[in-house]
Chains A and B, each alone.
Chain A
């Protein structure tokens, strides 16, 4: 069947864009807090203040004339990520995993020259990839060295965990694995695979690519059913703490797991997507209502995690 009856979706507690926008984002996310999450540089500052671990910032470029100094900025740096501070949806992110002299390499092995990087940065500064097209800042971030557990599930990129946090309670999670199609970025609409993760155990539930269920990673061929996210007990409190950090009631945080540093907050989204419901094969509504109506108001991320572990396990 091409279309599903709305009553069926309702029964399963699936929320749509309109409901997300009207009943959750507009109601729980104060507009004046948006800059905290929409600008990744500010997010990093706030994370520092709240002792939340993030990937290290190497440098940033704000003006076109600074681009000339790119060679100097990159001396001795072989692995890094360039991204627009106000980008979204994986737009304008350049991941460099290797360097030989003046030639850089993307995860796919594609060569990138200094000139290419400079042009890319110039575009970022002009606001090409940014919300509303305003001028932006290009930031250089240390490349996350991802945990080897993810090796079979990720192609040419770093997987991240997307967690929906409602009023400080982590309510639903999904692992996003990059594919050849998504070019080293773990953003679903660019072709990455979303794997629903059980809040209680950190084990995989279902996998979807481009909105459809799949069993195996399209590039590596590994079955997702064996997947267990490492450091799960660390990820939950980290994401819960994003509530205090941003003050936003409905958010989605992206968490990467570094081989050496453990779980790091990559970014926080004020308008997290809804595909997570497909990967979990469950609607968000029941859990949202649970928190709205029954969860105690708690100021401790640990306490909230305990509540989530109890109530949001998939059985």
Chain B
């Protein structure tokens, strides 16, 4: 394989890998591609209240299950004086609070932050149909059978049957007419539906949820029913007969297990309050992947301490600067003094802001050039001369800071962000170019360097680019692949179209 096709192969692999990882992180882990995106995080607080009777107390509440339509980012339990543990029992998590004895009203809080997850959770199929536990009176049974056969006639399959049934139950309950509802006194639409579905032999279960409404307090849990149809669980909302998980409901628990069990107390109540708040999408994604323990994130920059992370933020911008230099040198053909000096200047510009940076840079370099001109007459060895220039540059920097501070121009204090070795080398190189090639070349190369540095600065401080390089370091692979491809570019540079302008005419004829 020729070296050229090797380069292209590598470039394609790197490019695909970089884009692929980026999309994975964006699509699956939810890292936002653009800065400033936020996501709705719901804070749900459940409050358990009861009257203690003085006996030993055991409170057991079911906790949100995996397979919910929301991911729990954080949870906290608060019940002073209570012992607390979480118990896992055939796939269900329950919180258990215990106390030897208490009197009077008791309150227990369980608070959690949740965020929507759009992954459709695949749920286990229903377990073997257990023998019916229904005990119905003869009147109830006949009324129900009647009702069911009517529904059956006007439906096509299990799903349409269930929806039609829920709708019928709802309307007849509202109109309060003598129908199946009245036979089953005090039963809600969802409870009734579950009984009827069991009679009909359609696998079904109760789904308990919390309705998400910003600022809503003291609400009860909402009941939904879920039927198993063609290998899939489908939620039906008994309130409106709509199928599918409602957008504004946090599915807490599936199956008919009790929400709260209480020993040693009476008049127990569970009430929910919900608040919506917007959080940066990245924070949410990070919390999420922490909980899901994604190895990909575990071995990323995010696992570093925050301090090193912010150092990396800067370092990860350097490839962007390098790309700008590569583009301007190879495609445009600009001359710069020192290949990567413009990047270092650009990094300094980030701290100083470009305008102040430019002013500081130009004034120090020109004063330095003037002093260097004097030094060159003193017959110094090169290393000693550069060191002398470094020392003078530092002196100049200090002098400049003090004077400008006294004059009230605090921006000039940022002068320390310029690496002084770079300043000294620039002065040295520029003075040699001045001697050998004249001031025109100094303007060309110095101006070229500053121009490239400015462009690199604007590229590096672009909020989108900054966001992407830090949050998707795998984009480094994409930059690498672009650099590899440009390294193979053998076309004309923009400046050559000017340089060879006379050749187009053809002097010969």
B501 contacts across to A, CB distance below 8 A: 1-4
Given A9-B504, A281-B508, does the pair A126, B497 have CB atoms closer than 8 Å?
no
A122 close to B (CB within 8 Å):
yes
B6 close to A (CB within 8 Å):
no
Write out, one digit per residue, whether chain A residues 83-97 have a CB within 8 A of any chain B CB (1) or not (0): 000000001100000
Write out, one digit per residue, whether chain B residues 379-404 have a CB within 8 A of any chain A CB (1) or not (0): 10111000000000000000000000
A128 touches B503 (CB 8 A): no
A12 close to B (CB within 8 Å):
yes
A96 to B507, CA, bound (A): 38
A122 touches B381 (CB 8 A): yes
A22 contacts across to B, CB distance below 8 A: 487-490
A12 touches B504 (CB 8 A): yes
Rounded to whole Å, the gap between the CB of B326 and the closest CB of chain A is 12
Rounded to whole Å, the gap between the CB of B319 and the closest CB of chain A is 21
Within A1-26, which residues are at the interface with B (CB < 8 Å)? 1-6, 8-9, 12, 14, 16-19, 21-23
B502 contacts across to A, CB distance below 8 A: 208, 211-213, 278
A127 close to B (CB within 8 Å):
yes
A213 touches B507 (CB 8 A): yes
A146 contacts across to B, CB distance below 8 A: none
A226 close to B (CB within 8 Å):
no
Within A110-130, which residues are at the interface with B (CB < 8 Å)? 115, 118-119, 122-123, 126-129
A211 to B495, CA, bound (A): 12
A3 contacts across to B, CB distance below 8 A: 497-498, 501
A6 nearest in chain B by CB position: B492
Partner of B490, one of A14, A23, A91: A23
A122 touches B497 (CB 8 A): no
B504 contacts across to A, CB distance below 8 A: 1, 4-5, 8-9, 12
The contact size tier of chain B is 20 to 34
Rounded to whole Å, the gap between the CB of B443 and the closest CB of chain A is 15
A122 contacts across to B, CB distance below 8 A: 379, 381-382
A24 nearest in chain B by CB position: B490
Given A190-B437, A278-B502, A281-B506, does the pair A18, B379 have CB atoms closer than 8 Å?
no
Partner of A18, one of B381, B383, B489, B498: B489
A19 touches B490 (CB 8 A): yes
B492 touches A18 (CB 8 A): yes
Partner of B500, one of A9, A123, A129, A189: A9
A228 close to B (CB within 8 Å):
no
Write out, one digit per residue, whether chain B residues 322-356 have a CB within 8 A of any chain A CB (1) or not (0): 00000000100100000000000000000000000
B492 contacts across to A, CB distance below 8 A: 6, 9, 14, 16, 18-19
B500 contacts across to A, CB distance below 8 A: 4, 9, 14, 277-278
A16 touches B503 (CB 8 A): no
B379 touches A115 (CB 8 A): yes
B384 nearest in chain A by CB position: A126
B383 contacts across to A, CB distance below 8 A: 126
Rounded to whole Å, the gap between the CB of A134 and the closest CB of chain B is 11
A208 to B506, CA, bound (A): 14
Given A12-B503, A122-B379, A281-B503, does the pair A17, B498 have CB atoms closer than 8 Å?
no
A18 touches B503 (CB 8 A): no
B488 nearest in chain A by CB position: A22
B494 nearest in chain A by CB position: A3
A278 to B437, CA, bound (A): 22
A6 to B381, CA, bound (A): 47
A201 close to B (CB within 8 Å):
no
Partner of A6, one of B330, B379, B491, B507: B491
A277 contacts across to B, CB distance below 8 A: 500, 503
A35 to B192, CA, bound (A): 94
Given A22-B490, A23-B490, does the pair A14, B498 have CB atoms closer than 8 Å?
no
A9 touches B497 (CB 8 A): yes
Write out, one digit per residue, whether chain A residues 256-282 have a CB within 8 A of any chain B CB (1) or not (0): 000000000000000000000110010
B379 touches A118 (CB 8 A): yes
A3 to B502, CA, bound (A): 9
Write out, one digit per residue, whether chain A residues 204-220 have a CB within 8 A of any chain B CB (1) or not (0): 00101001110000000
B214 close to A (CB within 8 Å):
no
B429 nearest in chain A by CB position: A133
A6 contacts across to B, CB distance below 8 A: 491-492, 497
B488 contacts across to A, CB distance below 8 A: 22
A278 touches B489 (CB 8 A): no
B interface residues, Cβ below 8 angstroms from A: 330, 333, 379, 381-383, 432, 436-437, 487-493, 496-504, 506-508
**24 A-B Cβ contacts within 8 A?**
A1-B501, A4-B497, A4-B498, A4-B503, A6-B492, A9-B496, A14-B492, A16-B490, A16-B491, A16-B496, A18-B330, A18-B492, A18-B493, A19-B490, A91-B436, A126-B381, A128-B382, A129-B436, A206-B507, A211-B499, A212-B502, A213-B507, A278-B500, A281-B506
A interface residues, Cβ below 8 angstroms from B: 1-6, 8-9, 12, 14, 16-19, 21-23, 64, 91-92, 115, 118-119, 122-123, 126-129, 189-190, 206, 208, 211-213, 277-278, 281, 283
